[in-house]
Amino acid sequence: MVKIFKPILVFLFLLVNLVIAQPSFADPIAEKSPEYAQITQQLSQLLQARNNPSAAGYNTVEQIQKGISDLQFQKYIMETTEDWGVCRNETGRTLAVYAHKPSKYGSSANTLFYLGNGRKTDDEWDCDGIYLPSGVNVAGISIPVAENPVAENPVAENPVTENPVAENPVVEYPVAENQQQQPRQPLYVKIVDGTNLIVRSNPLTGEIELNAPPAGVFSVGELNTTVPYLSQAQIDAQVPNAPID
């Protein structure tokens, strides 16, 4: 009787491990993405400058500690996640996202897609970040003030375009005292590879809320002058075309 039950118990043990445990043969994003080396280097630099925040471009110990915490979280994501970036839209409106299809021959260029409310991007694609039109703010992050008013930049006829990835994705911008009174360019809010980003809209403040710290916030026009300047109304009018599950 014992000989009969022993192989059954072994089979049940293996079955439970397959259901509960993550597959050991799956490679984390840290082994595939060049961003992992960048984040590791930036984290090392901040840890060395922790007692001298000004040397790293920070004003206070609290600010540099937040930068360290964000990088540690991003590093953890890349070490424990198998999928590329995924963006989920829970804003109640159409969301503009940047995404590309990873390939063993090299990643294709980012393209601006439109993600419908309640949808998430296909996990076989890499969602690199979101596009925020002028007037839409993100809770908890600093917004760079535009040098030129948005009105001076016409809206492109074709709203689908490519977007370059900045060489140094982790940046900090000081908040100007009068930034609420000045128009700004649309923003590119970048996330690190492997992030499962959920984008929500606060019904009280109207701000966008993210469930993960961004890897960088950039004025879109500074990265690529051919990027269209879209209002939220224009984004809402687009037919959702983002690759979804």
DSSP reduced 3-state for 89: strand
pLDDT at 5 over 50: no
Q: How many CB atoms lie within 10 A of CB 6?
A: 10
Amino acid 74: pLDDT: 95
In which band, very low, low, confident or very high, does the pLDDT at 232 lie, cut at 50, 70 and 90? very high
Nearest by Cα to 161 from 188, 143, 183? 188
pTM: 0.71
Give per-residue pLDDT as tens, 33-89: 889 999 999 999 999 998 888 888 888 999 999 999 999 999 999 999 998 999 999
Task: Report the pLDDT value the prediction gives residue 109, as an integer from 0 to 100.
Answer: 77
Which residues are 129's β-sheet partners?
98, 190
Contacts of residue 171, defined as CB under 8 A and 6 or more positions apart, other chains included, come to 216, 217, 218
Give the C-alpha distances (Å, rounded to integers) separating 125 from 49, 98, 102, 110, 158.
Answer: 36, 10, 6, 11, 22
Whether the predicted pLDDT of 16 surpasses 60: no
Q: For residue range 144-162, what is the model confidence (pLDDT) as tens digits? A: 554 444 333 333 333 333 4
pLDDT-based confidence at residue 238 (cuts at 50, 70, 90): very high
Q: What is the DSSP letter of 141?
A: S
Kindly tell me if the per-residue pLDDT of 211 is higher than 90: yes
pLDDT over 90 (residue 236): yes
Long-range own/partner contacts, residues 60-63 (CB < 8 A, 24 or more apart): 63/172
Strand intervals (E) in the chain: 86-90, 95-100, 110-115, 126-132, 162-163, 187-190, 196-201, 208-210, 216-219
